[in-house]
Amino acid sequence: MPIELAGIKFRNPFCVSSGPASKSVEQLIKAQKCGWAGASIKLTFDPAPYINLEPRYGWFQDLGYLSFSAEKRLNIEEGLKLIEEGRKQTKDFVLIANITYSGNKGLEGWANMAKRFESVGAHIIELNMCCPNMSFNVEVSGEVAEGEPLSGASLGEDEKSVSTIIKKVKKAVDSARAAIRLGAKEVFILYRRTRDEMPAVAEDVIEAEEEGIKVMYLVSPRVHSVSQGCGQIRLHTH
């Protein structure tokens, strides 16, 4: 029962959600063997929050319930390593980087974090702006301390901030537009189907073309060769 979402192919519509079952390479390998199509890795914070304890369990027999404290989140290096090793040791398994930037660099912090996960092979970047369901800098009154950045639920409740962060990250991880901005003479986007079938936001395509990127439809690479250090691609027209 394969599906395709935003241009990414899943062998079925079932993925392991971010949590205790997706924090190690061994768990990712096991999830693949058990038939899952992918996994969102354990939430990665950068920088790590000051409250970041190992999970603790307790059975309150007189009250009849089990107590479970919050799982320890991954730091940036742990998250990057998990995605990188997961890509090496799994096949046809979609890896989703679940990230939260909680430092003082604002939009640039979110964008840089996303780019680092893209560089190690994350198929999807999940911008987590609702977990934990509290901010690390919320005062007892419920208000965010003056001058402190929003985090956790206090960030997710701010529609303007959420929209701004998403737009910033989308532009940062757009490799074609990044290449143009870094000085590439020509950049082409090749798509084997029509514009209407392209899994991209119309506004993004228009902005890419305005920056000088050439978008070609109903074509795909046929032969790739390298001669005297230069690559050549022959196209096949559909």
- Which residue type occupies 147? G
pLDDT at 27 over 90: yes
Where does CATH 3.20.20.70 sit in the chain?
Answer: 3-173
Position 184 scores a pLDDT of: 81
pLDDT of residue 8: 82
Q: Average pLDDT in the 12-41 region?
A: 94
Top-level CATH class of 3-173?
Answer: alpha beta
Confidence band (pLDDT; 50, 70, 90) for 229? Answer: low
Top CATH class of 175-238 equals alpha beta
Q: Report which of residues 30 and 20 the model is more confident about.
A: 30
Give the separation between CA 88 and CA 99, rounded to whole angstroms. Answer: 20
pLDDT-derived band at 77 (thresholds 50, 70, 90) equals very high
Q: How far apart are CA 49 and CA 146, in angstroms?
A: 18
Has residue 34 got a pLDDT over 90? yes
pTM for this model (two decimals) = 0.65
Q: What is the pLDDT of residues 39-59, one digit of tens each?
A: 999 999 888 765 555 655 566
- CATH 3.50.50.60: which residues of the chain? 175-238
Q: Which of 80-84, 152-156, 202-206 has the highest mean pLDDT?
A: 80-84
- Best CA proximity match to 44, nearest among 26, 15, 18: 18
| Average pLDDT for 208-237 | 72
